[in-house]
């Protein structure tokens, strides 16, 4: 059995799409998380440390005895603050104040302490302002990422829908084509290529079952063997192309007149045709055969080599009784051929039952 590997691409595409979307989400969310960490832990928490430093400088000014303790608290908090994340611009400002903080403990001057407090105050305001700007930038980045993810999802979903549609459409198209080819093959296998009637192979299959079908259904059936009169002479006179046209004309009339539920029309080969008719009596059969001769004559297909100067047919007919048990396909065919021969012997353009 041939495997259609195209069907496997759909789940693969879906899987890759989901992986791609997950990767986008995880990478962008991680980036945003780092950004948030930088904003909150790089600005807000250090601001709290700056307030502690500012208060400890105040303690030194008001209570010089607290110098050692306050100095230790100031340096611990300043070192923490100084080691936190800073932008390049922030680092320039902090570096300058860092020198002044270290210098303040050498001078031990209340005026300089107050100056440092003022610098720390300015640094606090700078940190708050910087955090606000970072927050705005974060919100802009967040909106961009949201839009980016949204449009990517729309694109992927649209692509998947289109892809699935194409796969389904292609599969249906291929299935329809295969069904058409299978039907065509079945039709071609039982159909004559020139006339479109059933072929000899199909005729043999049905004729094998004729007696059985007739007996089981309590039917009287008939097989009509038809031969175009002087057809060799027709081909010699008008050419084989004209002969093919004549065969198609006769086939069309047969197919048109014998199109009832239990009628089967065949091209047996060359200029020979056959009709199997189930569930028919002799009177009805003769009416239909006469109607066939009338329709053939009405076509007035010229045939100068014929006695009538027009194309005619001869027929040999076998009636198959519903009580017959031993009549084989060969028997039926030979009997019909014998009756056809009699029709020709009696002058053609007639039928013999």
List, for residues 334-350, the tens digit of each pLDDT value: 999 999 999 999 999 99
Q: What is the CATH number of the domain that holds 304?
A: 3.30.70.270
Out of 165-174, 187-196, 323-332, least confident range: 165-174
Q: What is the pLDDT of residues 23-76, one digit of tens each?
A: 666 566 666 656 655 555 555 557 788 888 888 888 888 888 888 888 889 888
In the prediction, which pLDDT does 120 show?
85
Average pLDDT, rounded, for the chain: 82
Number of C-beta neighbours around residue 96 at 10 A? 11
Based on the fold, state whether residues 211 and 284 are members of the same structural domain.
yes
What percent of the chain shows pLDDT beyond 90? Answer: 37
Based on the fold, state whether residues 131 and 218 are members of the same structural domain.
no
Please tell me the distance from the alpha carbon of residue 143 to that of residue 139, in angstroms, as a whole number: 6
In the prediction, which pLDDT does 178 show?
46
Based on the fold, state whether residues 17 and 142 are members of the same structural domain.
yes
Q: What is the pLDDT of residues 35-44, one digit of tens each?
A: 655 555 555 5
Please tell me the distance from the alpha carbon of residue 279 to that of residue 261, in angstroms, as a whole number: 10
Q: Give the 3-state secondary structure of 36-70.
A: HHHHHHHHHHHHHHHHHHHHHHHHHHHCHHHHHHH
State which residues form the domain around 334: 200-352
Based on the fold, state whether residues 109 and 232 are members of the same structural domain.
no
In the prediction, which pLDDT does 110 show?
85
Based on the fold, state whether residues 152 and 207 are members of the same structural domain.
no
Beta bridge partners of 225: 274, 316
Based on the fold, state whether residues 278 and 345 are members of the same structural domain.
yes
Based on the fold, state whether residues 261 and 147 are members of the same structural domain.
no
340 vs 86, more confident:
340
Domain closes at, from 144, 167, 190: 167
**Most confident listed range (64-73, 307-316, 326-335):** 307-316
In the prediction, which pLDDT does 77 show?
87
Calculate mean pLDDT across residues 4-22: 64
304 vs 152, more confident:
304
Residue 27 lies in a domain: yes
Residue 179 lies in a domain: no
Confidence of residue 1 (pLDDT cuts 50, 70, 90): very low
- What is the DSSP annotation of 330-347? HHHHHHHHHHHHHHHHTT
Based on the fold, state whether residues 134 and 86 are members of the same structural domain.
yes
In the prediction, which pLDDT does 148 show?
72
248 CB contacts (<8 Å, ≥6 apart)?
194, 195
Out of 112-126, 174-188, 236-250, least confident range: 174-188
User: Is the Cβ–Cβ distance between 351 and 316 less than 8 Å?
Assistant: yes
In the prediction, which pLDDT does 38 show?
58
In the prediction, which pLDDT does 297 show?
93
In the prediction, which pLDDT does 22 show?
60
Based on the fold, state whether residues 113 and 245 are members of the same structural domain.
no
Q: What is the pLDDT of residues 175-233, one digit of tens each?
A: 565 454 445 445 568 899 899 999 999 998 888 888 888 888 899 999 999 999 999 99
Q: What is the CATH number of the domain that holds 53?
A: 1.20.120
What percent of the chain shows pLDDT beyond 70? Answer: 76
């Amino acid at each position: 059995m041939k495997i259609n590997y195209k069907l496997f691409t759909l789940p693969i595409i879906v899987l890759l799409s989901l992986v791609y979307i997950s990767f986008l989400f995880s990478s962008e969310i991680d980036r945003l998380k780092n950004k948030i960490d930088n904003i909150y832990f790089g600005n807000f928490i250090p601001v709290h440390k700056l307030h502690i430093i500012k208060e400890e400088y105040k303690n030194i000014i008001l209570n010089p005895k607290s110098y050692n303790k306050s100095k230790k608290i100031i340096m611990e908090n300043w070192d923490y603050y100084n080691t936190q994340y800073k932008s390049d611009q922030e680092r320039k400002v902090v570096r300058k104040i860092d020198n002044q903080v270290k210098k303040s403990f050498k001078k031990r001057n209340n005026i300089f302490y107050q100056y440092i407090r003022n610098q720390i105050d300015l640094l606090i305001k700078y940190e708050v302002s910087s955090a606000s700007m970072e927050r705005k930038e974060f919100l802009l980045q967040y909106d961009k990422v949201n839009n980016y993810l949204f449009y990517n999802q729309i694109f992927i979903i649209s692509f998947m829908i289109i892809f699935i549609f194409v796969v389904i459409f292609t599969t249906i198209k291929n299935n329809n084509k295969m069904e058409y080819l299978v039907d065509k093959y079945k039709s071609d296998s039982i159909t004559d290529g020139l006339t479109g009637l059933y072929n000899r192979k199909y005729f043999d299959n049905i004729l094998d079952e004729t007696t059985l079908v007739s007996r089981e259904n309590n039917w009287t059936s008939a097989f009509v063997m038809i031969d175009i009169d002087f057809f060799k002479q027709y081909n010699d006179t008008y050419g084989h192309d004209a002969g093919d046209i004549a065969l198609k004309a006769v086939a069309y009339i047969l197919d048109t007149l014998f199109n009832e539920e239990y009628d089967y029309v065949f091209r047996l080969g060359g200029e020979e045709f056959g009709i199997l008719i189930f569930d028919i009596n002799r009177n009805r059969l003769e009416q239909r055969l006469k109607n066939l001769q009338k329709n053939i004559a009405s076509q007035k297909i010229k045939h100068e080599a014929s006695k009538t100067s027009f194309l005619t047919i001869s027929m040999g007919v076998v009636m198959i009784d519903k009580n017959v048990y031993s009549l084989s396909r060969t028997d039926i065919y030979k009997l019909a051929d014998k009756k056809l021969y009699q029709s020709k012997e009696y002058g053609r353009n007639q039928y013999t039952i």
